[in-house]
Amino acid sequence: MGNWKANREKDRERSQFDNKFEVLKLKCVTAAGGTPIAEDAKVARIRFITDAADAESMWVHAIPKRTRLGKMFSTDYYCLAQDNLECPYCSNLNKDISKVKRKLLFKVYVYYVLHVSNNAEKSWEQVDYFGTKMFKEQVNAVRFLYQGPGFNNSVENKFLNWEKRFKTLTDRDYEWTREGFTMSETVYDLVPDDAGKSPVSDEVKTVMDASPSLQEFIDNMKPSAGQTGTVEETEADIEKQVDDMFK
């Protein structure tokens, strides 16, 4: 039967982790197979809690998985080799697992996210965004900006350049935007608010102060003790094994 109970428990713990450490995602709509087909969340109004100088840059392994409906996705795990520890994924024969990619990690306060399409259940407010009809999802919460550095560090340089110009990222609001819906054409941008410097309200500051740290986020990305470099069993695999037991 394998270790399906333990793997199912890991997935459950991972789900709780993802809910606690929510990531700001500007994303697109995908087909069942995972192919991007349309734009969705395009704009987020944010306030940086972490300056570029204090942000984290780390190497991670993307572990491929598949949902019960056949859609492929991946879960990132922190590469322990960068801490001079034995990493269970670095020596995996599957190159998609053994290779590493660099990620940046900031903490931001998100006021709202603008979407191309409305949410039928929540009925987001319709707004005009420079002549384009958009739908506003009020967030008003801390999120982790977990992002690749971009081609030739193009995304990373946006953070560094604004911090260099203003001496800090945290003294004003920004718009974090995404255009395009395939990997080759997706472009991210970071634009400071026209109003310039602005104070943070006491309500927002309270939420910021109570939020988890970057280190807590990283610690929860690390592989658990005894974890191997093999792809964990999927929910579909587990269900099949259980069904086979009662045939």
What is the torsion angle, in degrees rounded to the nearest 10, for the CA atoms of residue 156, residue 161, residue 164 and residue 165?
-150
User: Of 52, 30, 55, which is closest to residue 41 (Cα–Cα)?
Assistant: 30
The count of domains in the chain is 1
Which range among 7-16, 138-147, 201-210 shows the weakest confidence by mean pLDDT? 7-16
Tens digit of each residue's pLDDT (9 = 90 or more) over 200-211: 999 899 999 889
pLDDT in tens, 15-24: 444 456 889 9
Q: Are 174 and 106 in contact (CB under 8 A)?
A: no
Residues 64 and 221 sit within 8 Å (Cβ to Cβ): no
Q: What is the mean pLDDT of residues 157-161?
A: 95
The pLDDT-based confidence of 161 (bands split at 50, 70, 90) is very high
State the chain's mean pLDDT as an integer: 82
Domain boundaries, position 200:
4-245
Half-sphere exposure in the Cβ direction for 88 (13 Å, CA):
15
Specify the residue for token string 């964990």: 232
